[in-house]
Amino acid sequence: MGGLTHGLQRAGVRVVAGIDSDPNCRFPYEANNKAAFVAEDVRDVTGASLRRLWNDGTTTLLAGCAPCQAFSTYGRRKGTVRPEEKWSLVAEFGRLVEDTQPDFVTMENVPQLPGHPVLTRFIQSLTGYRVWSDVVQCADYGIPQTRKRLVLLASRTGIVTLETARRLPGAPTVRNAIGHLPSLAAGESDAGDPMHSACSLTELNLRRIRASLPGGTWREWDESLLAACHRGKSGETFPSVYGRMEWDAPAPTITTQCFGYGNGRFGHPEQDRAISLREAAILQTFPGSYRFLRPGERPKFSTLGRLIGNAVPVRLGEAIGISLTRQVRRRRAA
């Protein structure tokens, strides 16, 4: 998809290639970034193939954002995560670091990873590196969502820490991010931007969203609007399901299902619909001009929702890039 690459390039890092096993990433990656897309499973990537991408004598970086499916609530509930897949991608990334020995390493991952043996083993494998890692709040970096992520930085030339969180011009709120976009009804698309498309809603869900207040919960609804999940004991712990966002606050974490009103607090603050794909991408700090579709192509909500929700927010990638380039300049000045 290119969120990390786009942010790194904004910070002045020359990215030569991005690797992903999902071919749906190819068009948006190559259409928006000055880098090649390699469609390959990381398990099949070799250190030798990566080294051939780097020019001799250059400062090298290996950046990864391996999904940790074992921490996915959905995956655990559906039983879709096989034991051998739980930690394999983090381990494979560690293998590639060991095989290539780049000057810098960075990894972005889920906030549940610290304290887990998989992260401990990965850090222990980084022999010869000074390692920094922490869980950061994305809103502190101008990203308009309450998304927490683990960021790890490793360097052979001294400790590198993520740049200090700083408030960028304009508060990171839903209003500042998407308040300028044209209004839509549920099921409509903007004629000028097919990515600004909203899922249709059933008559019952239209009644539910009309009864929902920004920042409110389903507990405020009339009894006739409650779903079966709300009536059960477990429903008490999910008050934000079927919720609306608030204009003057950050959005919740943008997930792979963010285009669906019933999948979280993904209702538009005032329009009776879930957020559009374009709005989700902007809340992930992709530029409004970022191209996800070929000319004439219609969006597939499930595919694009997955790509957008799994992406590294562009501004977080930029903060990582700024931190790394600062260390390079410091080393060259020494």
For the beta carbon of residue 182, count every other beta carbon within 10 angstroms: 12
SS3 of residue 101 by DSSP: coil
Considering the candidates 65, 68, 199, 258, report the single residue annotated as catalytic.
68
Structural tokens at position 157: 């030339």
Structural tokens at position 319: 């903060």
Structural tokens at position 258: 């963010």
Structural tokens at position 70: 């074992």
Rounded to 5 degrees, φ, ψ at 85 are -95, -10
Give the integer Cα–Cα distance in Å for 276 and 194: 10
Structural tokens at position 266: 């993904």
Residue ranges of E strands in the chain: 17-20, 36-39, 61-64, 104-109, 130-137, 148-155, 189-190, 193-197
Structural tokens at position 181: 């976009």
DSSP per residue over 268-299, as a string?
Answer: -SSSSSBPPHHHHHHHTT--TT---S-TTPPP
Geometric angle at alpha carbon 209, from 204 and 210, rounded to 5°: 95
Give the integer Cα–Cα distance in Å for 238 and 233: 10
Tell me whether residue 229 is one of the annotated catalytic residues.
Answer: no
What is the β-pairing status of strands 17-20 and 193-197?
unpaired
Question: Which residues are known catalytic residues?
Answer: 68
